[in-house]
Homo-oligomer: A and B are copies of this chain.
């Protein structure tokens, strides 16, 4: 199975039953992202999404120093010219044509990160060290955020002259209930630590060092993987759906979702196991 998950810049392993561990692997560059990396990130999670051997996922960064330092600006040129080369067959000095190239580029990049949110299985991001820019875009598309005490966060984009456009500005106001703080860190690009991240609810757990947070993340991933995948995947789906809509819309969607899902054998198996104090075993999904 590991063979199927060979992607440059990533290690994908399977540390426990039904659990995948995806590691960003470019430690010599603080796991800074080049374009191939977000393409591969997306490919990995699209595959995991439909892989019936997987029920939960942990995402980490290799090395001691960084989850990721963000975009590798020494390699990636986010300038219009660069974008044009990627998606328009000719370079152009016309603003509308450059805009078209940029828009296509942003949509593609956003889509790669949104692949994590759309992945049917829950993803736990375990952050440590430098966690700048794209670190936020990526971890906000995950379901649960844990971090090591040494984590330093920054929403860096205004410092390079742009409004963050890969997801942070759209997801952060819905992940954290302190809009004043959200604006503060997005407008100032200041670095903040794990205590502050926990206090405002950006992360739901802080652990000693990288080893610890990864270990805790794995424990949580294993716990989730032991539950009915019908229940777990439905819960992720409905929570994401409801975040973006009225309670009334959420309730209706939930009922229509569960009109199929309550027919599963898992309900009976889970209930019986509960009564018998046994660990249930669920079919693949």
Contacts and interface: CB of A to CB of B under 8 A. Distances in A.
A117 B267 contact: no
A37 B25 CA distance: 39
A28 interface: no
Interface of A is mostly: helix
Nearest to A52: B89
Contacts of A230: 96-97, 161-163
A19 B87 CA distance: 20
A110 to B, nearest CB: 5
B162 A258 contact: yes
Given A96-B285, A179-B243, A160 B274 contact: yes
Contacts of A268: 79, 161
Interface string A88-110: 11101011111110111011001
Interface of A: 50, 52, 73, 78-80, 83, 87-90, 92, 94-100, 102-104, 106-107, 110, 114, 117, 122, 143-145, 157-165, 167, 169-184, 186-190, 200-205, 220, 223-224, 227-228, 230-239, 242-248, 250-251, 253-271, 274, 280, 282-285
Nearest 5 CB-CB pairings of A with B: A177-B177, A170-B250, A178-B201, A163-B234, A96-B264
30 contacts: A52-B90, A78-B267, A80-B262, A80-B263, A95-B260, A97-B285, A98-B263, A102-B258, A103-B258, A106-B258, A117-B247, A122-B187, A145-B180, A161-B230, A161-B266, A161-B271, A162-B267, A163-B254, A165-B238, A165-B255, A169-B238, A170-B238, A174-B179, A175-B178, A180-B201, A187-B235, A244-B245, A244-B246, A248-B248, A256-B260
